Amino acid sequence: MRNKILIAVLIISSVMCVFVFGVYVSTGKEEREQINVIAETISGDRDEYNSQVVTDSPIEETTQALPDISMDSIRQSIVDSIRNNISSKTEVSLPVNIIYQYPDMPSGCEITSLTMTLNYIGINVSNKYLADNYLDTTEYDMFKSFVGSVYDDHSFGCFAPVIVKAANSFFMDNNINAEAVDISGSTREEIYDYIEDGDPVIIWNTEDMLPTKNEVYYIDGNEFIWYDNEHCVVICGYDKNNNTVEIADSIAGKVTRDADTFFQRYEDMLSQAVYIRVK
């Protein structure tokens, strides 16, 4: 009977360790530290129990009942322990690859940011193909159209609704089960939640975090408001401990920015953001 007890304890503790390892490899640094504590506790309990079972003991010990522990209770205990100690990840970095807009597309930061995001989710398409076939350039309103040409260094740009329209038209034409969603107005924590879930966000700020100001232009008799230094990037990571964000920037490359400054510039650019939802 003692051997049966020993085998049962070994099986249960081994399965617990396998489950902890499964959680371990999918978590952040702080979560892994908490899981290490749990794993060490499991290991210690197993060793202590083994030492008690294998020592000489009275014959009545063989009547001891096996522990009544289900796998569901083991799993829930581990998950609850992690959740109680960690409210959310403090550091995330998604592997978004850089596509540079220069030299071919000097004003194409928005469509290039869309392209980087689509490539990240496994859709192989170029920024040139999207710009030539799906980017509206017919109006002088950044909420309705790209103002100018992505191939002209002296052009302007567009805001979230234009990129949403371009992406969804591309999805429809190519039978891709995805949707671009305008999430403009999202808070910092809401943006972080998308990233924590593995989804980078197309987001507007300014080039090199420079301040912005509104400028009025008249093009072909049409009044047009330009937000100086407007830029669009992909936010693909954050580090709450160091108060930084990681971005895929089609001009600067993969860089980090001070989070407070970044989100201030985001607000300066009317809090424009787009999320690609895979259905």
pLDDT at site 219 = 82
pLDDT at site 223 = 87
Q: Max CA-CA distance within the chain?
A: 101
Q: Which two tokens stand for residue 268?
A: 């300066």
pLDDT at site 221 = 84
pLDDT string in tens for the chain (279-residue length): 544 444 444 444 444 444 444 444 444 545 555 545 544 544 454 444 444 444 444 434 444 444 455 555 555 555 455 444 444 689 999 999 999 999 999 999 999 999 999 999 999 999 999 999 999 999 999 999 999 999 999 999 999 999 999 999 999 999 999 999 999 999 999 999 999 999 999 999 999 999 999 999 888 888 889 999 999 999 999 999 999 999 999 999 999 999 999 999 999 999 999 999 998
pLDDT at site 4 = 46
Q: Do 75 and 19 meet the contact criterion of CB atoms below 8 Å apart?
A: yes
Domain spans of the chain?
2-87, 92-278
Q: Which residue has the tokens 């003991």?
A: 57
> What is the 3-class SS of the chain, one letter each residue?
CHHHHHHHHHHHHHHHHHHHHHHHCCCCHHHHHHHHHHHHHHHHHHHHHHHHHHCCCCHHHHHCCCCCCCHHHHHHHHHHHHHHHCCCCCEEECCCCCCCCCCCCCCCHHHHHHHHHHHHCCCCCCHHHHHHHHCCCCCCCCCCCCCCCCCCCCCCCCCHHHHHHHHHHHHHHCCCCEEEEECCCCCHHHHHHHHHCCCCEEEEEEHHHCCCCEEEEEECCEEEEEECCEEEEEEEEEECCCCEEEEEECCCEEEEEEHHHHHHHHHHCCCCEEEEEEC
Cis peptide bond N-terminal to 103, omega within 30: yes
Domain 92-278 has CATH 3.90.70.10: yes
Q: Do 76 and 194 meet the contact criterion of CB atoms below 8 Å apart?
A: no
Cα(100)–Cα(251) distance, rounded to whole angstroms? Answer: 6
Q: Which two tokens stand for residue 43?
A: 């290991």
Q: Is the dihedral of CA 233, 238, 239, 243 positive or negative?
A: positive
